[in-house]
Amino acid sequence: MSTKISPLINPNELLELHASQKIILIDARAGIGAEENYKKEHLKGAGYVDLNHDLATITTEPANGGRHPLPSFEKFSKTLSNLGIQPSSHVVIYDDKNGSNAAARFWWMLRAVGHEKVQVLNGGLQASIKSGFPISSEIEHFDTVENYPIKEWQLGLADINQVETARNNDEFIVIDVRDKNRFDGLTEPLDLIAGHIPGATNVPFSENLDENGFYHAAEILAKKYTEVLGPAKPENTIVHCGSGVTACHTLLAMDYAGIPIPKLYVGSWSEWSRNDRPMATKENN
- Tens of pLDDT, residue by residue over 114-127, are 999 999 999 999 99
Read off the pTM. Answer: 0.96
Q: Measured between alpha carbons, how far is residue 258 from residues 54, 217, 218, 220, 251 in Å?
A: 29, 11, 8, 11, 11
Please give the pLDDT value at position 2: 47
Q: What is the set of active-site residues?
A: 241
Q: Over the stretch 211-256, which tens digit does the pLDDT of each residue have?
A: 999 999 999 999 999 999 999 998 999 999 999 999 999 999 999 9
Residue 282 has pLDDT above 90, yes or no: no
Contact 70, 243 (CB under 8 A): no
Q: Which structural domains are found in the chain, ordered by start? A: 8-136 (3.40.250.10), 160-272 (3.40.250.10)
Q: Measured between alpha carbons, how far is residue 163 from residues 45, 83, 199 in Å?
A: 41, 34, 10
Question: Which one-letter DSSP state was computed for residue 267?
Answer: S
Q: Checking DSSP bridges between strand 173-176 and strand 237-240, what pairing results, if any?
A: parallel
CA triple 206-12-138, angle to 5 deg? 90
Helix (H, G, I), strand (E, B) or coil at 108: helix
